[in-house]
Chain A
């Protein structure tokens, strides 16, 4: 829980310095997902990250959507299914599914 609040601290600092910022939050998990519900990733308009929503396997895709949310202001609901095979390919043993909500901090 303190992790989530540290993410919010950094998000607040980015926002105060005039940056565009988005917040991604794990809202549902199935199976052995690596990060629990409530885990958050903050992204600024240069693509800098704080926190995590998966421990590495989906961050790239989430950052892309976060940048789009910063640009158009619309929230997004993303579904990721990590198959065992994909998990092996990226070197992570997730094998779970996660749903991530991405929104602009406004």
Chain B
């Protein structure tokens, strides 16, 4: 690997940009392929570039045979992100659990007494309204959003913004009754029933969770499941190597 390639990979991580490093194994020639550009020896090969982008989409590195050459596609994708709206008790266990699973966690709450680094060590804490915070962060397809405040004033704008983005998961805490009322309120701001169907609510897997920590497990289990199913679907049928 060239030192310039190493620097480019490190920069991509800092910027949360996905990149595939394509290495021709015969001579270690390198090409960096991003979503919007490609740099290096094989950057002009459209077939290779699209193979590299597909690998990036499903987050899977692999070796391919290409024009009689062995080519290794090494995918470097930013870690999935979890945005927790509501710096509440469940969030205090959900944040560290998600961090252990390599999620990049941010807690958002406009209430100063709740959104503190003392309550949430080791994760990003933003003291702001969710829709404002989302705009600054930029929601993307590797992001999950979960609302936990129970307060429509805080949860609804977050859900509305998340539903207008392509985040891979949206979950909202609250009973079936609360969820039905939520659907009505969001309907009034232009969220159709079809759009609202993306929201997992009542949030989490049905594992009989009672305590805040158990609810955090059920939410995280659901996020892991939704993400895995999505990546499986993108990857297509599983190919078993001989």
Contact = CB atoms under 8 A, between A and B. Distances in A.
A30 B239 CA distance: 12
B46 interface: no
B72 interface: yes
Interface residues of B, number: 27
Contact of A37 (B2, B7, B23, B62): B62
Interface stretch (B75-83, B174-182, B195-203): B75-83
B136 interface: no
Contacts, number: 63
Interface residues of A, number: 24
A105 B9 contact: no
B63 A103 contact: no
Given A1-B77, A5-B76, A77-B25, A37 B6 contact: no
A105 B72 contact: no
Interface of B: 1-3, 6-7, 9-10, 13, 23, 25, 27-28, 59-63, 70, 72, 74-79, 102, 241
A27 B28 contact: no
Instruction: Point out which of B1, B23, B79 has the most chain A C-beta atoms below 10 A from its C-beta.
Output: B1
Interface of A: 1-2, 4-5, 8-9, 11-12, 15, 23, 25, 27-28, 30, 36-38, 75, 77, 99, 101, 103, 105-106
A28 B63 contact: yes
A15 B10 contact: no
A103 B60 CA distance: 21
Given A1-B79, A25-B74, A12 B62 contact: no
B9 to A, nearest CB: 6
A60 B10 CA distance: 27
A12 B6 contact: yes
Given A27-B72, A103-B23, 6 more contacts: A1-B77, A27-B25, A77-B70, A101-B72, A103-B28, A106-B2
